[in-house]
Amino acid sequence: MPSEQQCSPEKISLPIGIASIPFAAHQSYSQSVFELGRALFYDVTLSGDGDISCASCHKQEEGFADAGNIVSKGVGRESGMRNAPTIINVAFQSSYFMDGRVLSLEKQIEDALRSPNEMYATDSIVKQAVLKSSRLSRLWNTAFGDQEVSLKGISTAIGLFTRMIVSGSTRHDAFIAGNQSALNQQEQRGKVLFEGKAHCVKCHDGPHLSDGLFHSTGLHTHYYDKGRYYVTYSNGDIGTFKTPTLRNIALTFPYMHDGSLPTLRSVIEHYNVGGKQFINKSADIQPLNLTSDEMDDLEAYLHAFTDSSLIRNACLSKP
Ligand code: HEC
Ligand code: HEC
């Protein structure tokens, strides 16, 4: 067991500009709720077929995503529609899922538990998982005393654990904190391109490298998955998706909502040609005319967003 202190919010390096981890309303950090949430995050008995946990698709060693799988397989090995995103720094987001259809993390977690594409459990399966396991029951009692086992408590605990998955100590962070040698020359050239000629920063900006808004990057001429449209039913939102964070991006291949781009290089090439023709494509997606060397530099810089301490942090691994 990792020591208790290691897991506390004070031990987490936050990105520059972020003062604290936002916990759910009316809730502050609690070590016992964290430990319950951690156990639940890794527990397969919460799923419809007893085979899938949150960690099946959000693997710590893969940047809390599902590297290598275009779309993830949920219960019964059925494929979902979307590529599993990283869940790093989700505590700071204001909307969840790639179409932003849910506004609270705890509600998002309840959806993940119930979704046929994910864990396909009923509320009763989830509650029974806690009641039937002496280990989970003990963790529940430590966290919530004699409160009856409820889906709300379960999503609160998983939510608190998930809020602690924070990345803020990459080489990119060290560089902006003033350590000039944190990035090598090539990565520094990549950073200049990211913020200048390639203007990636127009959407991938701020402490989490995302504006949290919805755009179409012209990935397709016809979007099978209509994205944000499913929430607003506005034609202008067809094919728009929430800008993902680029933290740990080197680990979370393949890319885009449908996993259709296999490598970082293919993503850069997609942007370099200005995407495909699509009616809702953002005006900020234009041909970039990057040379092959410039694409190398940009790609090198994207590797500086990898947080090796986070993916090795024993606090966040399977208890
Ligand atoms: C079968 C694979 C799978 C399982 C199991 C799964 N997820 Fe996910 N998760 C996904 C996919 C795919 C998405 C994106 C879905 C979408 O946008 O519609 C997602 C989205 C999310 C998001 C939103 C990320 C964002 O940027 O908006 C969070 C948070 C999350 N999952 C947490 C969890 C938790 C906690 C569990 C366990 C209760 C879980 N997931 C179980 C595949 C999975
Ligand atoms: C107009 C806003 C915008 C600009 C400019 C932009 N992006 Fe994106 N980026 C997005 C959106 C939105 C997505 C998700 C698209 C999807 O899933 O269809 C995305 C996805 C990505 C992904 C895949 C993330 C994942 O988890 O699958 C990478 C990598 C990426 N962008 C890098 C870049 C780079 C490098 C640049 C500059 C060359 C750039 N982006 C410019 C909005 C933008």
Q: Which of 252, 191, 257 is nearest to 220 (CA)?
A: 257
Q: Render pLDDT for 77-127 as a digit per residue (tens, 0 to 9).
A: 666 778 889 999 999 999 999 999 999 999 999 998 888 878 888 888 889
Domains and CATH numbers, the chain: 4-167+308-316 (1.10.760.10), 171-303 (1.10.760.10)
> CB within 6 Å of ligand 1 — which residues?
52, 54, 56-58, 72, 74, 80, 82, 84-85, 87, 90, 93, 96-98, 105, 108-109, 112-113, 118-119, 158, 162
Neighbouring residues of 215: CB distance < 8 A, sequence distance ≥ 6: 203, 240, 241, 243, 282, 284, 285
Ligand 2 centroid–CA 169 distance in Å is: 22
The answer to whether 130 and 154 have CB atoms below 8 angstroms apart is yes
Q: Render pLDDT for 201-229 as a digit per residue (tens, 0 to 9).
A: 999 999 999 999 999 999 999 999 999 99
The answer to whether 238 and 223 have CB atoms below 8 angstroms apart is yes
On average, the pLDDT of the chain sits at: 92
Q: Which amino acid is at 49?
A: D
Q: Residue whose CA is closest, atom 42 of ligand 1?
A: 84
144-153 — which CB contacts under 8 Å span 24+ positions?
A: 144/33, 144/36, 151/110, 151/113, 151/123, 151/126, 151/127, 152/106
Q: Residue whose CA is closest, atom 16 of ligand 1?
A: 97
In order, the DSSP letters of 78-110 are -B-SSPPPP-TTGGG-SSBSTT--BS-HHHHHH
pLDDT of residue 2: 43
Residue from 82, 267, 286 to probe ligand 2 pocket by mutation (most atoms less than 8 Å from CB): 267
The answer to whether 5 and 11 have CB atoms below 8 angstroms apart is yes
Rounded distance between C-alpha atoms, residue 85 and residue 57, angstroms: 9
pLDDT of residue 108: 93
Ligand located closest to 54 CA: 1
Q: Residue whose CA is closest, atom 13 of ligand 2?
A: 243
Ligand 2 centroid–CA 269 distance in Å is: 12
Ligand located closest to 199 CA: 2
pLDDT of residue 74: 66
Rounded distance between C-alpha atoms, residue 88 and residue 165, angstroms: 5
Ligand 1 centroid–CA 193 distance in Å is: 32
> CB within 6 Å of ligand 2 — which residues?
85, 198-200, 202-204, 215, 217, 219, 241, 243-244, 246, 249, 252, 255-257, 264, 267-268, 271, 282, 284-285, 298
Is pLDDT above 50 for 1? no
Q: Render pLDDT for 125-174 as a digit per residue (tens, 0 to 9).
A: 889 999 999 999 999 999 999 999 999 999 999 999 999 999 999 999 99
Instruction: For residue 242, give the 3-state DSSP assignment.
Output: strand
Q: What is the pTM of this model?
A: 0.95
